[in-house]
Amino acid sequence: MTELFVGPLKILTNNQGWHPATDIDFGGDEADGQAFNAMLVAPGLALNIQYFLASEAGGGVKIVDILDSPLKYKKLLGRVRQGVQRLPDGFAMKQVRSIKDSSSDKPTVTKATHEELDQTLGSPLLHILRPLGVTEVGVAKDMFGSRNSDLAIRWSEEGSPLIPFVTFIVTRVIPVMESSE
Amino acid sequence: MNKENPWVLFLPKSLAIWELATAMNIFTKAVAWEIGERFDRVLIEKGHSDWLAEVQKAHSLAPVSMHDPSFVFEVPRKYEDSLLWQALPPYTKELSSKFWRAKKTRNIWQHEDIKQTVDTFVTGASIIQDLASELDLDVAHYGPDLKNQITQIKRAGGQIIPVDQSTELRSLLEHKEEEVDALQKKLEETRLTAERLGNQAESLASIETAKEAAEVAAQEAQMLADRLHAELQHERLLKADPADSFEIGQIWPSDVNIGSRLLYLSAHMNDLYDAERLSLLSNEVGPIAELAAHHWLQVVPEGGHVNLTENGHAAIKQGNSYRYLGRLDEVVHGFVKDKPVQTEFADQSFIYKDGEVVSLQEDDETIPDGLVGILVKSGLATNTDIPIRLTHDSIVAAQIDGRWIQLAKLPA
């Protein structure tokens, strides 16, 4: 069980760990795989979040319930999923983008820099991610030869399932938290 | 020097055996102490500065303490020619007999205390008092004081002070602990004085006396601490929680305290979330919270807001009412004794009658290990057929008045 502070929020996990589940894989198809559940909490806020990994094609992180949280968090429910890809030797988020306009009911994510995320968090994001097993943070084009120049994060098989949760908080939850509605 | 008797009169507040035994123990020790002091004072005056060693040698005794009731009561009774009689009234068979009876009384309260009664207490107090009066001891008044207290307790209906026993015991323990501290301090002082005086025999005897008193007081303190612990457990049981008799699923009565700890039964986490502490209950109490959540989610799959009482009883909010879920610490491995079964049954079923279990499966007559023992211990009537079933998670249930009631869980 874990209680990890990420800025103004805390990630809660317990002993249930990974369990069999069926959800949407990285490519958008329904697939069998494993899910890891957690809660993101702060005073007056409790969000159920799930990290799904299909057996073959990766998966992603999304909010599955906002419980009694303020209605503005409803815009995150099932949307703006953070995709996670399987690599031969681990995992990667090759397109780490963040919500810039959180006033919209249907927010979208746009390109973000490492510095912008540090600013959103109020402290260096790597200070949290490194101990969790992140091995590289950089630009997707440089790290993977992708065409895009999005921020990318890579970790090994041994990396913690909390890595995408931390990223989700910084790129999605804190921006909504800081918005007025 | 007239030393203060450390065995202060203890008046029982009830007729509980531990109080009677304590009172009798203290009375006998008080009498033995005063007689021992008399031996010491008189025999030293008569020139027997090492009288204890003389007596030990004369009667081939193992090393003894001059205040030990078994020594004080036994030697004068057994040895008519003992040096000790020089510190006592002239030997008579009658006085010797009083020592013998005192010793016998001390022994039965020491070794057979649990068999004793109020009547044997009164008789015993009279016997010890008889010896104390004959020797004109200061503590002779303990006898009538104790007997008078027993009369008062009987008049008061068995208990003289309406405060709970633990309060009384705690006070006694604090008093005793202070006494232990004082006696240990005294022992240190006696040691220092003895060193200063060159550790003469008399000084060494004083050390021995102080040491014995400190040890005895420490033993008494431990005894009181044990009793306090037992009493606190007893009182906790006596303060019955009305929720103990609730059935799982019943509506929580509005006149029973619902509990002030607010939690959220989370199907997503299979746990209970505490919004005030921003923490999962499993992080606080361990896996029992996840086991409880798992069990309760079988009753209320969607989860919801739960109130938890101080004793761990949980109720979930449903509309304007609350439904009882069970007690947090009772749902270990999904088993809740004497509550209706909540999970699915396995295929096998049995009949229990006359201490025997019969399988109702024609193709499988196996009786699981431990099942017969559980049923025999359950106290179920044995002269009628009682249907028995097992759940998938090995909970043994009996059909009683049309309901399947959980009896025990089969050993793994």
Q: Which residues of B touch A41 (CB under 8 A)?
A: 273, 275, 278
Same domain, residue pair B121 and B190: yes
Residues belonging to chain B with any Cβ–Cβ distance to chain A shorter than 8 Å: 264, 266, 268-271, 273, 275, 278-280, 282-283, 287, 290
Could you tell me if residue B1 is inside a domain? no
The answer on pLDDT for B162 being more than 50 is: no
The answer to whether A139 faces chain B, any CB pair under 8 Å, is: no
For residue B93, give its domain range.
Answer: 17-238
With cut-offs at 50, 70 and 90, classify the pLDDT of residue B1: very low
Segment B244-272 shows an average pLDDT of: 90
> Which chain A residue's Cα is nearest to B270?
A16
For residue B85, what pLDDT band results from cuts at 50, 70 and 90?
very high
For residue B344, is pLDDT > 90?
A: no
Contact A16 B290 (CB under 8 A): yes
pLDDT at A161: 94
- Count CB atoms within 10 A of the CB of residue B276: 9
Give pairs for B106-113: CB < 8 Å, separation 24+. B106/B28, B106/B69, B106/B70, B106/B73, B107/B70, B109/B21, B109/B24, B109/B25, B109/B28, B110/B25, B113/B17, B113/B21
Residues of A in contact with B271 (CB under 8 A): 14, 16
Q: How far is CA B328 from CA A136, B274, B292, in A?
A: 44, 15, 6
Q: Across residues A153-157, what is the average pLDDT?
A: 94
- Both structure tokens of B186: 């005294």
Q: Which residues of A touch B270 (CB under 8 A)?
A: 14, 16
Mutate to test the interface with A, among B269, B270, B274, B277 (most CBs of A within 10 A): B269
pTM confidence score:
0.51
Residue B296 burial (10 A CB sphere; 0-12, 13-18, 19+): buried
The DSSP-derived string for B180-218 is: HHHHHHHHHHHHHHHHHTT--HHHHHHHHHHHHHHHHHH
CA B246 to chain centre: 29
Do A16 and B273 make contact, defined as CB atoms within 8 angstroms? no
Give the chain A residue whose CA is nearest to the CA of B272. Answer: A14
> How far is it, in rounded angstroms, from Cα A173 to Cα A99?
9
pLDDT for B363 equals 79
Give the per-residue pLDDT at B161: 41
Contacts of B116 (CB under 8 A, 6+ apart): B17, B20, B21, B24, B108, B109, B124
**What pLDDT does residue B253 have?**
92
Q: Is the pLDDT of residue B2 over 70?
A: no
pLDDT at B40: 95
On whether both B387 and B286 belong to a single domain, the answer is no
Report yes or no on B150 lying in a domain: yes
Contacts of A37 in chain B (CB under 8 A): 268-269
In a domain, B6, yes or no: no
Which of B277, B299, B334 is the endpoint of a domain? B334
CB B321 within 8 A of CB B252: yes
Does some domain include residue B62?
yes
Using a CB–CB cutoff of 8 Å, tell me whether A48 touches chain B: yes
Q: How many CB pairs under 8 A join A and B?
A: 49
Tokens encoding B82 = 């003992």
B256-265 average pLDDT score = 90
In this prediction, residue B203 carries a pLDDT of: 78
Distance (Å, whole) CA B237 – CA B241: 9
Kindly give, in sequence order, each residue whose CB lies less than 8 Å from that of residue B53, ignoring residues fewer than 6 positions away: none
Question: Do A39 and B280 lie within an 8 Å CB cutoff?
Answer: yes
pLDDT tens-digit readout, A45-62:
999 999 999 988 899 999
* Residue B208 sits in the same domain as residue B230: yes
Residue B327 makes CB contacts below 8 A (sequence gap 6+) with: B243, B244, B311, B312, B313, B314, B336
Residues 6+ apart with CB under 8 A from B141: none
Contacts of A46 in chain B (CB under 8 A): 264, 273, 275
DSSP line for B9-64: ----SB--HHHHHHHHHHHHHHHHHHHHHHHHHHHHHTT-TTHHHHHHHHTTPPS-
Question: What is the structure's pLDDT at B114?
Answer: 77
A142 pLDDT band, cuts 50/70/90, is very high
Mean pLDDT of B45-53: 94
Across the interface, whether the CB atoms of A1 and B282 are under 8 A apart is answered yes
Minimal C-alpha gap between A180 and chain B (Å): 22
Say if strands B279-280 and B271-274 run parallel, antiparallel, or are unpaired: antiparallel
How many Å lie between the alpha carbon of B310 and the closest alpha carbon of chain A?
23
Among B266, B268, B283, beta carbon nearest to A3: B283
Euclidean distance between CA atoms B270 and B268, whole angstroms: 6
Rounded Cα distance, B253 and B250, in Å? 9
Average pLDDT over residues B17-21: 88
| Final residue belonging to a domain, choices B215, B238, B261 | B238
Gap between the Cα atoms of B125 and B30, Å rounded? 12
B11 falls within a domain? no
Residue B356 is assigned to a structural domain of this protein: yes
Residue A168 pLDDT > 90: yes
Q: Do B148 and B212 lie in a common domain?
A: yes
Name which residue leads in pLDDT, B362 or A75: A75
Residue (of B100, B60, B57) closest to B78 by Cα position: B100
Structure tokens at B9: 């009169």
Rounded Cα gap, residues B157 and B14, in angstroms: 9
For residue range B86-101, what is the model confidence (pLDDT) as tens digits?
Answer: 999 999 999 999 999 9
What pLDDT was estimated at residue B273? Answer: 95
Nearest Cα of chain B lies from the Cα of A41 at a distance, in angstroms, of 6
Listed residues B238, B261, B280: the one ending a domain: B238
Is the same domain home to B184 and B66? yes
Same domain (yes/no): B218, B302: no
Are residue B313 and residue B355 in the same domain, yes or no?
no
* Chain B residues closer than 8 Å to A10 by CB: 278
Look at residues A80, A69, A13 and name the one whose alpha carbon lies nearest to residue A43: A69
| Residues B108 and B216 both lie in one domain | yes
| Residue B206 is assigned to a structural domain of this protein | yes
Which residue among B264, B275, B280 places its CB closest to the CB of A14? B280
**CA B213/CA B190 separation, integer angstroms:** 12
The reported pLDDT for the residue numbered B245 is: 80
The yes-or-no verdict on residue B32 having pLDDT over 70 is yes
Residues of A in contact with B266 (CB under 8 A): 39, 48
Residue B353 has pLDDT above 70, yes or no: yes
CB contact under 8 A, A14 and B266: no
**Contact flag B270-A16 (C-beta cutoff 8 Å):** yes
Q: Which of A54-63, A116-125, B228-237 has the highest mean pLDDT?
A: A116-125
A77 close contact with B: CB closer than 8 A: no
Does any CB of chain B come closer than 8 Å to the CB of residue A46?
yes
Closest-CA distance, A160 to chain B, in angstroms, reads: 18
Q: Which residues contact B27 (CB under 8 A, 6 or more apart)?
A: B7, B9, B10, B125, B128, B139, B142, B143, B146
Does one domain contain both B156 and B295? no
pLDDT value of position B197: 80
Q: Which chain B residue lies closest to A66 (C-alpha atoms)? A: B268
Tell me which chain A residues have a C-beta less than 8 angstroms from the C-beta of B268.
37, 39, 48, 50, 64-65
Lowest mean pLDDT, pick from A25-34, B258-267, B325-334? B325-334
Based on the fold, state whether residues B101 and B202 are members of the same structural domain: yes
Between chains, do A12 and B283 touch, taking CB under 8 Å as contact? yes
Interatomic CA distance for residues A140 and B355, integer angstroms: 74
Shared-domain flag, residues B194 and B106: yes
**B207 and B109 share one domain:** yes
> For residue B5, is it within any domain?
no
Residue B328 has a pLDDT of 80
Is A39 in Cβ contact with B268 (below 8 Å)? yes
Cβ distance B290 to A64 less than 8 Å, yes or no, reads no
Q: Which residues of B touch A50 (CB under 8 A)?
A: 268
According to DSSP, residue B162 is labeled -
Q: What is the number of other CB atoms lying within 10 angstroms of the CB of residue A129? A: 22
Chain A residues near residue B287 by CB distance under 8 angstroms: 15
Residues B64-81: pLDDT tens digits? Answer: 889 999 899 999 999 999
- Helix residue ranges per DSSP H, B197-287: 201-238, 281-285
Determine the pLDDT at residue B195: 84
8 A C-beta contact, residue B102 and residue B127: yes
Inter-chain touch A3–B268, beta carbons under 8 Å: no
Mean pLDDT, chain B, whole residue set: 85
Asked casually if ipTM beats, i.e. exceeds, 0.90, the reply is yes
Mean pLDDT of B21-32: 95
Beta strand B403-409 with B395-400: parallel, antiparallel or unpaired? antiparallel
Residue B239: pLDDT band (50, 70, 90) is low
A119 touches chain B (CB under 8 A): no
What is the percentage of chain A residues whose pLDDT exceeds 90? 75
C-beta separation of B37 from B3 below 8 A: yes
The distance of Cα B233 from the centroid of its chain, to the nearest Å, equals 8
Average pLDDT over residues A123-140: 95
- Determine the average pLDDT of the residues in A121-129: 95
Question: Rounded distance, CA B156 to CA B137, Å?
Answer: 31
Lowest pLDDT segment from A6-10, A28-32, B281-285:
B281-285
| pLDDT at A41 exceeding the cut of 90 | yes
Give pLDDT, residue A60: 94
Q: CB-based contact (8 Å) between A12 and chain B?
A: yes
Distance CA A162, CA A12 (A): 10
Count of domains forming chain B:
3
